[in-house]
Homo-oligomer: A and B are copies of this chain.
Amino acid sequence: MLARVLGVAEAGLANGIEVGIGDDAAVLQGTTRRLVWTIDEQVEGTHFRRDLASWRSIGWRSTMAAASDLAAMGAKPWCALAALVLPDDVDDHALEAIAHGQRDAASAIHASVVGGNLSRGPTLSIATTWLGTCERAVTRSGARPGDGVWMAGALGLAAAGLRALETGRGLDARFADAIRAWREPRALIAEGLAMAGIANAAVDVSDGLASDAAHVAEASQAQIVLFEAALAEDPALATVAAWLDATPLDLALHGGEDYAIVATSPSPIPGFRRIGEVRPGEGLRIEGPLGGRALEPRGFDHFAPR
């Protein structure tokens, strides 16, 4: 069944992939490059609701969310496996659409889904594991005082899109970009590769900037300082925030599922803009025109009451 649904086209069986879907396991050629390997899971009710996203979007989002971990390590995606748990009310048509979204997402980052596993269970979930390759992986622990903090991608837009959907404004054209950011996120693979030779540390912003930047500070035993002006400057975000009665800064710091990349580096990174700096010390601070303050690393609760 999965073989038919997720089935790799014969064209997919290139790129070092010797055996794809349909056997006990996938078989890949060896490589002298480093392997970067991650697993991520999206669960209905926690990460998505089927009334807010199409089946295709559910497949796409789960695949991209997992691939974003590769981007943050500076790795090139190679291939993915997925394990789906399907309740009885997810029919073949829905499964086909989910798999379509998975294939399209993998294909958009020049990689492929090579296998998987189907189980029955009461809650719909999609676990995705990605293998990527790199010469040198960028971890969370390499930030050094004196580094700039650099970011690629948009912050807060996906959270705004989700909030628009939750409040019944899915058809409101003003939120189209924000809703697209939530329904069809992109892992910033090219940006991650651009960063790989330059950055000292990096993380992807999946749980909110405040939460994810704090991980870098902790792993690197350094202080991360964010510049308020740099975070709130996105005019698109300012506009949707106003429509949602939110502040751009709150969306930028505590929104989630952006899949932006935050990196630290002593020199500029092509495609990244500067949003802060690394100092001796610990924890996270934000500095603005009214002074600075410590920032709690509060994460993103996908469907928490707001």
Contacts and interface: CB of A to CB of B under 8 A. Distances in A.
B35 A30 contact: yes
A230 B273 CA distance: 69
Contacts of A110: none
Q: Please tell me how many copies of the chain the complex holds.
A: 2
Q: Which of A29, A33, A37 has the most CB of B within 10 A?
A: A37
Given A32-B30, A139-B19, A122 B25 contact: no
B129 A45 contact: no
A114 to B, nearest CB: 8
A129 B115 CA distance: 12
Contact of A83 (B30, B39, B72): B39
Chain A interface, >50% SS class: strand
Interface residues of A, number: 60
Interface in A21-53: 22-47
A130 to B, nearest CB: 8
Interface of A: 18-19, 22-47, 69-70, 72-73, 75, 81-83, 85, 115-117, 119-123, 125, 127, 129-134, 137, 139-141, 203-204, 219
